[in-house]
Structure 1
Amino acid sequence: MADTSLLADSAQVAGFDWSFFWHYLISPSGTFLEGLWRTVYISVVAQALGVLLGLVIALAQRSRFAALRWAGGAYVWLIRGTPLLVQLVLVYNGLAAAGVYRFTDVQVGGLVLLGVVQAAVLTLAVNEAAYMAEIIRAALDAIDRGQTEAAQALGMAPSLTMRVVLLPQALRIIVPPLGNEFNLMMKSTSLLSVIGLQEMFLTAQSINSATFKTFEIFLVAACYYLALTTVWSFVQRFIERKLADPGTTPPPGPSLRERLVGGRGGPAPRGTAVVGKEPTLAGREAS
């Protein structure tokens, strides 16, 4: 009789708690929602900063000054050659241990910007900039050189040529790999738990420690990550349609199903900017 009771208890422990799963999926706790919100705004801010810094590095790599080209190439080599997890620990813990800089909470108006959030945004932006630099550089290189020569013949300064002629065309090439990079950014925020940032993944870990519902709570977290990337797929598709050249008929892009699950005729591999019929590798797949 005792053995039967023990087996029943073991089956109950090993079973999947559907009520717990649906409860946290449909009506998550305030702590979980706070972690979700941190995941979103850290991703957005870090990606925006990464794009701006990546543009600066890409322009440095195209500079006529050898020192700038060398510095841009060295930055990309160093950042892409080291894991993001290691970079997070070095920035947040290593700088403080070496006495270089300690991230402390900063009050901006009525908001308190946590030191750990500052370190997370900085590290993610610096990491992302290396990949965006390669994407932007490849997109600029893909534009016909004749357009630059025509702008020079009209007396346009190099900075004006870049701003008016080259960057608007490169933007259409950059958007698809940029969308892929942002998808990766949202998922990479799960690594921030290593420095103690209470984003969605670490929040799920805390709930698991209190409830021992490992499979249920991490499945909830997976569903929310999937929801974030799915929503972004819709946004990315909308942006690509808006940026399509109105003077030409764009080639049929991948369907929404192909964007989400892949398949024949789907999008180019991550970090690939397609120009005409020739793919130009950039971003995380280029090395």
Structure 2
Amino acid sequence: MNLTKSNPLLLVGAGKMGGAMLSGWVDQGIDPAALIVCDPRPSDEMAALFSKKGIRHVTEAPVGLTPAVVLVAVKPQMMDAALEPLKPVVGPETLVVSVAAGKMIATFEAAFGQVPVVRAMPNTPAQVQRGMTALFASPAVSREQKTLVEELLSGIGAVAWLENEGQMDAVTAVSGSGPAYVFLMAECLAEAGRKAGLSSELAAKLARQTVAGAGELLYRSDLEAGTLRKNVTSPGGTTAAALDVLMADEGFQPLLDAAVAAAAKRSQELS
């Protein structure tokens, strides 16, 4: 399926995630004429992108248009208000894609009828094309539409299809919220360095580059994370001493178990 000016993609919401996807599509070479952005208050950065690339911007759903794809990138709390004005533009063959945490396919079928719906859970590294997006499709989604979704979202990172919609809460808790856990680790590592006698500036620089470098190594390597960890760890050395603390019974794993469980529970509540 090819997106065209007469068969476009309507992006509803051009915030951090919607904006990251839009930038990725432009970088992929998608014809800007095939893209329409509906956002009442876009950022100055997004407005500049619209102007530079010739992307049509509207503040409300365009009248007299039935897009090939409507991708809704608004916060879950804003979803109900966002869907009502979209009813006139969603036809029976329009593919609806949602990136809102917790909002199930039934939400969109209740609003638009038995249209094809794909739930997508990307994460913020999409802003630098290092995102991870999990996908789940309703039975009405065709193979061609699945391929189109993969092409759209592979522009911001890796994609993976889920076996059932129930897995989306766990995905949200692991990869959707996961970048925040990594950023917190960088914060805590910097603070630990400061307490060990480093200046705040140096500790922050060491922590930031270490987390970023380790992440890039993990991204590029074919080795499992556990193998990479072991490769850094000399028996009886400094890293081993630190890992004895982090891998203790009350250490890192049970904390992450509890964190992911809390996030998954909240995702269920948002539905």
Normalised by the length of structure 2, the TM-score is 0.24
**Which has the higher Rg, Structure 1 or Structure 2?**
1
Tell which has more relative contact order, 1 or 2 (C-alpha 8 A, sep 6+): 1
Normalised by the length of structure 1, the TM-score is 0.23
**Which structure shows the bigger proportion of residues in helix conformation?**
1
